[in-house]
Amino acid sequence: METCRKAHHSEEFKGGLIRRLDRIEGQIRGIKKMIQEDRYCDHILNQLTAVRSALSGVQEQLLMGHMHTCVLDQLKEGNTEVIEELSSTIRRMIR
């Protein structure tokens, strides 16, 4: 059964994620401009690779935070179903 849960991360943790996402957002805007300006495809592809890598970093940071807070809290409350949920999330991430 799906329950409504919320994350409980520190403001510092959330701020770090937001700063990284803001930087990625700027990179995306730069890529859009490169396309509009007919920049060389290889340069655009390199920027897209950098964005993908940056997003992976955010994803990894959030996963670690999730395991150390949300998952741990659920396990302490006796909810072992969270392990299957986490396994499913990790499977989706590595596809």
The pTM score is 0.85
Nearest to 41 by CA among 54, 50, 51, 31: 31
User: Where do the domains of the chain lie?
Assistant: 11-93
Q: Give the separation between CA 92 and CA 86, rounded to whole angstroms.
A: 10
| CATH superfamily of domain region 11-93 | Metal-sensitive repressor, helix protomer (1.20.58.1000)
Please report, in tens digits, the pLDDT of each residue of the chain (95 residues total). Answer: 445 578 888 999 999 999 999 999 999 999 999 999 999 999 999 999 999 999 999 999 999 999 999 999 999 999 999 999 999 999 999 99
Nearest-angstrom CA–CA distance, 68 and 62:
10
pLDDT (0 to 100) of residue 63: 97
Q: Which of 93, 65, 71 minimizes the C-alpha distance to 84?
A: 71
Give the residue carrying structure tokens 């996963």. Answer: 63
Q: Residue written as tokens 């990179």?
A: 27
Q: Where are the extended beta strands (E) located within 1-95? A: none
Q: What is the pLDDT of residue 3?
A: 55
